[in-house]
Amino acid sequence: MVGAYVALSLALPLALLAARALAEGASPTGATIGGELWLLASGRSLALAATVALLACAGAYPLARALPAPLLFALFLISPLARALGVLGLGLPPGALAVALAELAGALPLAALLVLLRLRALDPRWLEAAADLGAGPWTRWRTITLPLLRPTLASAALWSALVSVGDIATLELAGGGKLYALALLLREVAFSLEDPATLTILSAALLALTLPCARALLGAIDALAAPGQGHGGAGALPRPRAALRALAALAAAIAVLPALGLARLAFSTPKDMSLGTSIGAAIEASARTHPPLAALAAIAGFALALRRPRLGPRLGALLVLPLAIPPAVQGILALEVGRAIALPPGELLTLWGLAPASLALAYLAGRLTLAGLPLALDEAACDLGAGPVARLRRLWIPLLGRPAAGVALVLLALLLGAVSVPAFTSGPGGSTLAVALTILARGSGSGAVALVTLTLALAPLLLVPLAARLGGPRRRP
Amino acid sequence: MSLTLVDLSRRFPGGVLALDRVSATLPAGAYTCVMGASGSGKTTLLRAIAGLERLDGGSIVLGGAPLDRLPPERRPVHTVFQGYALFPHLDVAANVGFAARLAGLRGPALAERVAALLRDVGLDAPGIAERRPAALSGGQQQRVALARALAGEPRLVLLDEPLAALDRPLRADLRRMLAATQRARGLAFVHVTHDPEEAMALADHLLLLDHGRLIASGPPAALYARPPTLAAGRLLGELSPLPGAGGRWIRPENLTLGTHMMLAGDPERRATVARLVAQRCLGDRWELELALGERRLIARAGAPLAEEPGAEVTLTWRIADELALPR
């Protein structure tokens, strides 16, 4: 089943793209992008991704020690559109610095969240043993904590870099549309040049690169919930010293600054109320499509996570793969599916394009949730005579229903702010709120757009604490 | 170098009193075992000595020097943790050499110390030193943890239920290894356990804890034979109630199955008749469950009785083995 799903969402669209390239030739329109520009864009994208990943990793540990997990997660889920508009709201001119700051504001909480989860999974007895053997706080950090965090930091760097390479909204807005990078060229090739051969080669190359990344990502997530650990390692760490607190404050400021810039933009720029109709239509479309997708993905992700003993690491990595694929490539693949089945860009195609990453995130969340539960529970229920329906009703829905509802809320926050995939799939004018806002923001600097984007940015800050409350231990009446 | 504990107190958030004014002096160079049921405060006591647990009151003095203000890393005390807490990212040699390296040992001197320690704990087979902890068996991990604790040349070694996770034959082997290592080095060991057999076999000196209070201390054989209280007696082994008022008890192995005839002319013995409820094979001996009115008694025998359950049997015992134990 998983194989069929992956084939349908990844392999088949790539094969269709390749088939079209063979049938239509390199560039049916005759227009091409010069090698020099490709080199420049690739170099710029990689340099930007590397800078963002490096800085995110440098700030991850202090930030993880300063902010709670729900806040980090909420900051990570803030739409790239909001961050991009926010850095401009701070007064930065569009360009490389603005793009880097906007991307770093998303990468920092992501890296810090992974580090925090890893710290929680570390056995505090390792630090106690090191102290017992004579290691002071700095030596403990250098010889125990840092080496144990290294794989997590590597995964965080990789994830941040991949998100950066495939990010379109930030490049368009904070880059002023002139900062040509790989994701923008891919969109150019997809829409203006309609060059399937180049798209096939680039998509295949990026997909091949992301498979080991997905394996690493899955391994990192499993390590976060390693069995027999989770003794509250983060709580056992000594109180942060002044230097660490200063670094944490700097990292937190970088993560929060775009939101402040957005607020400034929203309340200081004149509002063009004529945009109300188009924004209203986009809100309606998002409200129609995103909640059902979030709910379905959460249910499917948890259902697949329940099959973990039967899904080996390879199939698990395939499920997680969409999280590692640059969003621009996912957009291209969804567009190709739409072309093959004559489904024009719009709401349905956007749902198809957003589904794989949503399912992947829900699957990861399900794995993390289930890691805290013994696998023998299902066997025990079976042994006591519970059939599949009884097990679902009496065991898994009571145990996982609330966490799954929490994950659905988180997915909703993510979907509301998603821009890069819908930029390919949503059609003219945009069939999601985030894309419509991106288009409007590109066209005018209206305070109305900034105000709605600010509301969009606040959604994760409201939904994630609610999700954490749902996912936490149930209160007894 | 003796260890003195003075009025140690620790109350956990939520009100649980883990240590209730515990005072004791542990002899220099001795193997001390701390015994108690789960939640009796024995691990808290060990962690307090190591500096890993904050105390609400009291003082810990090692060889005349108070340890109270020293952080764990500056105490001359190393611990073998429950579950071992081996560093997963370091190989066996790096784990064992961790403290020695911190003390400034490098190169051949460090390698030599690590090799000697691994030899001492029986881990000198080729390739072991390069393995990660995850690739070791439970027994090997326990040996690495002991070698790691010894490598920093501590003045006191603390062991927190080091044998709890091991199966029975391995436990006996490692118990002997621990005793031999302690004897060879003349170091003071403080070993926490809930297993009376382990404590009796290892300890020169035994501390018994119950609900955070020290209820008895002394040589294990003496405590077993003459426990000061019923709780202390039960911690160390089973007790059978004797007939009559006054709270008299006896160890099951001191009950003999015999006849009233045996008592003739033996003023040092007493006897009673009990009903056989069941008998069970424990491997090297048999356990007999007997009923004496409402009381249940346990006796031990080298071989099973010919009588069926329900039959009456005569129990005899030496008056000198009777224990009058206050509750």
How many CB atoms neighbour CB B115 within 10 A?
16
Residue A348 inside a domain? The answer is yes
Span B145-173, average pLDDT: 90
pLDDT for residue A451: 84
Partner residue facing B78 (CB), from A123, A126, A132: A132
Is-contact B57 B7, C-beta < 8 A? yes
Of A236-245, A394-403, A436-445, B315-324, which one has max mean pLDDT?
B315-324
A129/B103 Cβ within 8 A = no
Q: What percent of chain A has pLDDT over 90?
A: 16
Q: Which residues of chain A are at the B interface, by a Cβ-Cβ cutoff of 8 Å? A: 123, 125-126, 128-136, 139, 143-144, 147-148
Residue A153 inside a domain? The answer is yes
B218 and B270 share one domain: no
Positive or negative torsion for Cα A298, A299, A303, A306:
positive
Span A194-222, average pLDDT: 76
Span A116-141, average pLDDT: 89
DSSP annotation of B135: G
A126/B88 Cβ within 8 A = yes
Chain A positions touching B98 (Cβ under 8 A) are 130, 133, 135, 143
Chain B positions touching A144 (Cβ under 8 A) are 87
Is-contact B150 B189, C-beta < 8 A? no
pLDDT for residue B181: 92
pLDDT for residue A476: 39
pLDDT for residue A434: 83
Q: What percent of chain B has pLDDT over 70?
A: 98
Chain A positions touching B52 (Cβ under 8 A) are 128, 131-132
A134/B152 Cβ within 8 A = yes
A134/B74 Cβ within 8 A = yes
Q: Report which of A171, A197, A195, A201 is spatially closest to residue A183, judged by C-alpha positions.
A: A171
pLDDT for residue A229: 46
Task: Please say which residue of B233, B259, B288 terminates a domain.
Answer: B233
pLDDT for residue A100: 93
CA distance B273 to chain A (A): 46
**Residue B307 lies in domain:** 238-324
Of A70-74, A461-465, B90-94, which one has max mean pLDDT?
B90-94
CA distance B192 to chain A (A): 17
Residue whose tokens read 């030193």: B129
Is-contact A263 A87, C-beta < 8 A? no
Residue A476 inside a domain? The answer is no
d(CA B77, CA B276): 52
**Residue A419 lies in domain:** 2-471
pLDDT at B9 > cutoff 70? yes
Span B190-210, average pLDDT: 94
Residue whose tokens read 């040699």: B93
Span B229-257, average pLDDT: 90
The enclosing domain of B307 has a CATH number of: 2.40.50.140
B163 and B256 share one domain: no
pLDDT at A183 > cutoff 50? yes
Written as one string, the DSSP assignment of B236-273 is HS--EEPSSSS-EEE-GGG-EEE-GGGGTT-TTEEEEE
Chain B positions touching A233 (Cβ under 8 A) are none
B252 and B221 share one domain: no
pLDDT at A431 > cutoff 80? no
B102/A133 Cβ within 8 A = yes
B87/A130 Cβ within 8 A = yes
B110 and B247 share one domain: no
B186 and B302 share one domain: no
H runs (alpha helix) in chain B: 42-50, 92-96, 98-102, 107-120, 138-151, 168-185, 196-202, 220-225, 230-236
d(CA A321, CA A308): 16
Q: Report which of A86, A97, A56 is spatially closest to residue A179, judged by C-alpha positions.
A: A97
B205 and B111 share one domain: yes
pLDDT at B220 > cutoff 90? yes
Tokens coding A10: 């990844």
d(CA A169, CA A177): 9
Q: β-pairing, B31-36 with B188-193?
A: parallel
How many domains does chain B fold into? 2
Chain A positions touching B83 (Cβ under 8 A) are 125
A148/B89 Cβ within 8 A = yes
Is-contact A424 A353, C-beta < 8 A? yes
CA distance B101 to chain A (A): 10
pLDDT range class, residue A379, cuts 50, 70, 90? low
pLDDT at B45 > cutoff 50? yes
Is-contact A375 A399, C-beta < 8 A? no
- Mean pLDDT across chain B: 91
Alpha-carbon distances of A427 from A18, A307, A344, B267, B271, rounded to whole Å: 23, 37, 8, 107, 99
The residue of chain A nearest to residue B158, with distances taken between CA atoms, is A132
Chain B positions touching A129 (Cβ under 8 A) are 79, 81, 85-87, 148
pLDDT per residue over A138-150, tens digit each? 899 999 999 999 9
CA distance B169 to chain A (A): 25
pLDDT for residue A230: 43
pLDDT for residue A237: 64
pLDDT per residue over A297-326, tens digit each? 999 998 888 876 556 667 777 788 888 787
How many domains does chain A fold into? 1
B226 and B288 share one domain: no
Top pLDDT among B70 and A431 is at B70
pLDDT at A167 > cutoff 90? no
B288 and B185 share one domain: no
Top pLDDT among A386 and A452 is at A452
B47 and B196 share one domain: yes
- Mean pLDDT across chain A: 81
Chain B positions touching A123 (Cβ under 8 A) are 85
d(CA A125, CA A401): 33
pLDDT at A250 > cutoff 60? yes
pLDDT range class, residue B182, cuts 50, 70, 90? very high
Task: Please say which residue of B178, B211, B233 terminates a domain.
Answer: B233
